[in-house]
Amino acid sequence: MHRIINRDFLAGLLCLVIAALVLLQAYAYDMGTLRNMGPGYLPRFLGISLAGLGAITMVFSAKTATAFPVLNYRALVCITVGIIAFALLMRPAGLFLATIALVYICGLSERRFRPVKLGALALALCVMSYLIFILGLNMPIRLFPWSF
């Protein structure tokens, strides 16, 4: 059983799942005819194609599959959370705090946490982005929570 569930098998499965979700929603749109295509024509066609491709990938997966690559999950989580934190902080709190949050959270992807080094980096980046984007390009970005 374990040998069946390989990289390409899961890839094909992903195609099938997404195809199902796409088709489910596609029936809400009018299909039209080939001569006068409705908004639902392409989604239906693509959903069915994706399901077909997924099935082909799964069927041949035992022959084609390669080993999973090593992925740094810690970095993935830290960087994703860091970007989300930046997105949430940018508007209410301004560039300064958002940058500090981003740099510290991204910095957690390293095994060793170096608060002083990261702080210095965050400050330097704040100054740099202030100079480039706010002073240089006049972009309407809030810098501190109390700015404009």
Q: Which residues bind other proteins (CB under 8 A)?
A: 7-8, 10-11, 14-15, 18, 22, 25, 29-30, 33-39, 42-43, 46-47, 49-50, 53-54, 56-57, 60, 64, 66, 68-69, 71-72, 75-76, 79-80, 82-84, 86-88, 90-91, 95, 99, 102-103, 106-107, 109-111, 114, 117-118, 121-122, 125, 129, 133, 137, 139-141
Q: Of the two residues 1 and 59, which places its CB atom closer to other proteins in the complex?
A: 59
What angle do the packed helices 7-26 and 41-59 form, to 10 degrees? 160
Whole-number minimum distance, CB 146 to other proteins, in Å?
A: 19
Q: Are the beta carbons of 143 and 95 closer than 8 angstroms?
A: yes
Q: Of the two residues 97 and 107, which places its CB atom closer to other proteins in the complex?
A: 107
Whole-number minimum distance, CB 116 to other proteins, in Å?
A: 13
Instruction: Name all contacts of 103-112 with Cβ < 8 Å and 24+ positions apart.
Output: 105/78, 105/79, 105/81, 106/78, 106/79, 106/82, 107/78, 108/74, 108/78, 109/72, 109/74, 109/75, 109/78, 109/79
